[in-house]
Amino acid sequence: MTKQELFKLIKEKKSFLCVGLDTDAKKIPAFLSEKYENPVLEFNKAIIDATADYCVAYKPNLAFYENSGVNGLDTLDATVEYIRTNYPAHFIIADAKRGDIGNTSAMYAHAFFGNELNYDAVTVAPYMGEDSVTPFLTYAGKWVILLALTSNKGAYDFQFVRDAETGERIFEKVLKTSLNWGNDENMMYVVGATKAEMLTDIRAIVPDHFLLVPGVGAQGGSLQEVAKYGLNSSCGLLVNSSRQIIFASVAEDYAQAARTEAAKVQAEMELILTDAKLI
């Protein structure tokens, strides 16, 4: 998907919501396990059907599927296929945080972009530098979403370290350095919503890039703050919400509850996009 196509989708849906499919088998409604052979897949399908009107992207978190071994990966594949078949316009992000030396990253890139399974983007960790990231950039229409400033407490351990030479913080250095590897047509950045006040500094370096923003909802970030500092002329934001939407209810009405929650976020996003004259 190109950047223009993504922006078009955002305008059509009046939403920049990404629904995180962090489907913890232990947290899904208990009745599903009694009724279905693959309760996680059933849950995902119902959540996708319930939320597709209100979001532009889905982000399965690979850990939650790897956790169940090969069966979990089967469920993941079936989930992605379900989205592709029923909602072909949606953007699909493999939240995998991969990254290794060049020949190994090339293998990961092929795993996410080279098979029939058709992700649009994969999250990549920057610690190992250029040759760990660039192999993911060789697939036309596919995206690297590079970790810059993450939403968790541990972000303060290394991401804010200031470079003695340039005065830049590591997350800023990641942004600046990676501008030499890709561009706003094939790279996005992860910026945690819990650090929205940093978005001004981040936009100074990457004004035109899309940012994937986790941390709204369960992690405590504010959508208004994120939009205030993060919006650009192509929207430039994909705001992810996982637990707040997919586990809005764990009773029989879980899908309806997820739909209501997604609709609520979409309505807020529609106002934001309208105020910004983007729709």
> Considering CB under 8 A, how many residues would be counted as binding a copy of itself?
60
Sign of the dihedral through C-alpha 203, 204, 208, 209? negative
Do the Cβ atoms of 141 and 171 come closer than 8 Å? no
**Which amino acid type is present at position 241?**
S
73 is a site residue for a copy of itself (CB under 8 A) = yes
Q: Using CB under 8 A, which of 42, 49, 100, 184 touches a copy of itself?
A: 100
Among residues 8, 11, 97, 264, the one annotated as catalytic is 97
d(CA 48, CA 46): 5
Do the Cβ atoms of 52 and 17 come closer than 8 Å? no
Q: Using CB under 8 A, which of 4, 138, 152, 274 touches a copy of itself?
A: 152
Q: Using CB under 8 A, which of 53, 163, 197, 252 touches a copy of itself?
A: 163
Residue labelled with tokens 């991401």:
159
153 is a site residue for a copy of itself (CB under 8 A) = yes
Long-range contacts of 226-232 (CB under 8 A, 24+ apart): 226/193, 226/196, 226/199, 227/269, 227/272, 227/276, 228/196, 229/196, 229/197, 229/199, 229/200, 229/203, 230/191, 230/196, 230/199, 230/202, 230/203, 231/272, 231/276, 231/278, 232/203, 232/207, 232/208
42 is a site residue for a copy of itself (CB under 8 A) = no
151 is a site residue for a copy of itself (CB under 8 A) = yes
Q: How far apart are the first and last CA of the chain?
A: 20
110 is a site residue for a copy of itself (CB under 8 A) = yes
The residues in 165-224 that bind a copy of itself, with binding defined as CB under 8 A, are 165, 167, 170, 173-174, 177, 219
Per-residue x/- track, 50-69, a copy of itself (CB under 8 A): -----------x-xx-xx-x
Residue 98 or 209: which CB sits closer to a copy of itself?
A: 98
| Annotation says 97 is catalytic | yes
Residues that bind a copy of itself (CB under 8 A): 22, 24, 61, 63-64, 66-67, 69-70, 73-74, 77, 95, 97-105, 107-108, 110-111, 114-115, 117, 125-133, 147, 150-159, 161-165, 167, 170, 173-174, 177, 219
List, by residue number, the catalytic residues. Answer: 97
